[in-house]
Amino acid sequence: MQRLTGSGLRSLSSFLHKLYELRTHDEFTTHLVQSLPSITEGEFTSYNEFVAGSPKVTYKSDQLPYCPNPSHYAKVLEYHLHEHPVVTHFLQTKDKLAYTFSDFLPTREFQETALHNEFYKPLKMSFLLFMGLRVGKRMLSISRHRDDKEFPDSAKTAFNAIHPHIEQALANSLAVTRMQSELDAIHKAFDSGQQGVIVVTGQERIRFSNACAQRLLKDYGLQTRSASDLLPGHLRDWLRHLRKIVAGCDDVPAAVRPLVIKGESGRLIIRRIPQESYDVLILEEQRTTPSYDRFRCFGLSEREIEVLGWAARGKTNPEIGLILKISRRTVHKHLEHVYLKLGVENRMAAVALIGDLTSS
C-alpha cells in the first residue's frame, strides 16, 4: 500500500482534528461528506447508512450533478446490486479495507456489466473508492466517485487510515444526539411542568429542583430534611455508581438504564444527563393506579386529595396517619371535609365515586 506524502499526512491530521469535534449525528454525516475531498481525489462523495430493524436510511452527497431521476437510479442500483463486486465483498466478509472496482475486476470487464452501463455510466461516475463500516446495528458505506480515471493507491491508504476514527467519531455523534434529545426533554419539562428536574452539583448537592421534582421525591419517600440541600441517600448512591462507571471507561460508555423506584401508586423513573461540572436528573412518574388530581375541581386541598387517595387504596385511618405522619384524628377530620365537598355521606360512597370518575 502506498505511503502518504508529507502534504498528505498534514491534510490527514487536519481532517482528523476536525472530525472529532462534537456534533450531532446529522451534523457529523454532513461534515464527513463535505470534508472527505480534503484528503482524497474525486468529483463527489456519497454516504449511505442503514440501521438493522429500521426502515430509515440516511443518504447524503456533496453533489449529484448527473442524476435527473434519483428514484429511478435507486431502483436500478438495487436490481443490479448482486453484480456490485465491492459491496458484495463487504457484505460477505465485513472487510474494513478500502477498495476500488479494479481490485476485483479488470476495468474493461466491469464496464461491460449491466451495473456499469445502466447505473454508473449514465451518472458519469465510472470509478469508485469504497469503504464499508459496521457500528453496532448500523451499516455504512462511504464512497468517493469520479469519471476520468482510477483512484490511486494513496487514496485507499487515506481511507484505511481514517476508518477507525470514523467509527469512533460516529459513536461520539450518536452520544451527542442522545444528549441533545435529552436536553430537549429538559426544556420541555421546564415548559410543561410534567416532569421533575433536579440539577445536582459535583458534591451531590441540589442546586435546583422544580415543583414537580419536589412533589415526586416526597411521594416516593425520597425527600431530605427541610434544611438540607443534599441529594437523598438512595439517589446519591446511584449517582456515585454511574460516575464510577464513566470514570473507569476509556471508550464511549454504554447507555445506562434509568433508576426505577416502585411506589404505592406507580413507579418513579429517574434518568441522569451528565454535564461538564454537574448532573441533571429527569424524574418521570408512570402511574399504575389512577390519579386523583381531577378531584381538585371539587375544591379538595392537596392533603385532602392525599388522604382520599390512600382511603381508596383500602388503607385505614391509622395506616393513613402513619404514611402521612399525621394523627388518626386529623385523618378523620380530612375525610369529613372530603365527604362534604364530594356531596357523599361516608367512606364507601366516596370510594365508589372515585371509581366512577377515574374509570370514565
Please list, in sequence order, all residues whose beta carbon lies within 8 angstroms of the beta carbon of residue 335, skipping any fewer than 6 positions away: 307, 308, 311, 317, 347, 350
Mean pLDDT of 239-257: 68
In this prediction, residue 67 has a pLDDT band, given cuts at 50, 70 and 90, of low
pLDDT above 90: percentage of residues in the chain: 29
Which pLDDT score is estimated for 248? 65
From-to residues of CATH 1.10.10.10 in the chain? 293-359
From-to residues of CATH 3.30.450.80 in the chain? 6-178
Which pLDDT score is estimated for 89? 92
**Which region among 149-153, 186-190, 305-309 has the lowest average model confidence (pLDDT)?**
186-190
Sheet-wide strand order for 57-61:
57-61, 44-51, 138-146, 127-135, 99-100
Please list, in sequence order, all residues whose beta carbon lies within 8 angstroms of the beta carbon of residue 224, skipping any fewer than 6 positions away: 230, 231, 232
Mean pLDDT of 336-357: 82
25 or 73: which leads in pLDDT: 25
Reported as a single tens digit per residue, the pLDDT across 154-201 is: 999 999 999 999 999 998 898 888 778 767 766 666 655 567 888 888
Residue 360 has pLDDT above 60, yes or no: no
Q: What are phi and psi of 3, to 5 degrees?
A: -80, 155
45 or 360: which leads in pLDDT: 45
**Which region among 48-52, 93-97, 167-171, 287-291 has the lowest average model confidence (pLDDT)?**
287-291
Please list, in sequence order, all residues whose beta carbon lies within 8 angstroms of the beta carbon of residue 175, skipping any fewer than 6 positions away: 252
What is the pLDDT of the chain when averaged over all its residues?
A: 84
Mean pLDDT of 129-154: 91
Which pLDDT score is estimated for 194? 63
135 or 100: which leads in pLDDT: 100
- Give me 327's grid cell: 394523627
Q: Regarding the domain delimited by 293-359, which CATH topology (the fold level of the hierarchy) does it fall under?
A: Arc Repressor Mutant, subunit A (1.10.10)
d(CA 118, CA 112): 10
Which pLDDT score is estimated for 252? 46
Q: How many residues does the chain have?
A: 360
Please list, in sequence order, all residues whose beta carbon lies within 8 angstroms of the beta carbon of residue 258, skipping any fewer than 6 positions away: 269, 270, 271, 272
Which pLDDT score is estimated for 344? 86
Mean pLDDT of 287-312: 77
Q: Are 288 and 308 in contact (CB under 8 A)?
A: no
Reported as a single tens digit per residue, the pLDDT across 9-21 is: 999 999 999 998 8
Q: What is the DSSP string of 83-137?
A: G-HHHHHHHHH---S-EEGGGTS-HHHHTTSHHIIIIITTTT--EEEEEEEEETT
Which pLDDT score is estimated for 222? 85
In this prediction, residue 254 has a pLDDT band, given cuts at 50, 70 and 90, of low
297 or 79: which leads in pLDDT: 79
Mean pLDDT of 121-141: 89
pTM: 0.55
Mean pLDDT of 326-340: 92
Which class would CATH give 6-178?
Answer: alpha beta
From-to residues of CATH 3.30.450.20 in the chain? 193-287
Residue 153 has pLDDT above 60, yes or no: yes
Q: Are 278 and 198 in contact (CB under 8 A)?
A: no
Count helices and strands in the chain by DSSP H and E runs: 13, 10
Question: For residue 151, how far is the Cα from the chain centroid?
Answer: 38
Report the SS3 class of residue 16. Answer: helix
CATH of domain 193-287: 3.30.450.20
**Which region among 1-5, 66-70, 170-174 has the lowest average model confidence (pLDDT)?**
66-70
Which pLDDT score is estimated for 288? 62
Q: What is the DSSP string of 215-245?
A: HHHHHTT----TT--BPPHHHHHHHHHHHHH
**CB hemisphere CA count around 282 (13 angstroms):** 21
Please list, in sequence order, all residues whose beta carbon lies within 8 angstroms of the beta carbon of residue 202, skipping any fewer than 6 positions away: 277, 278
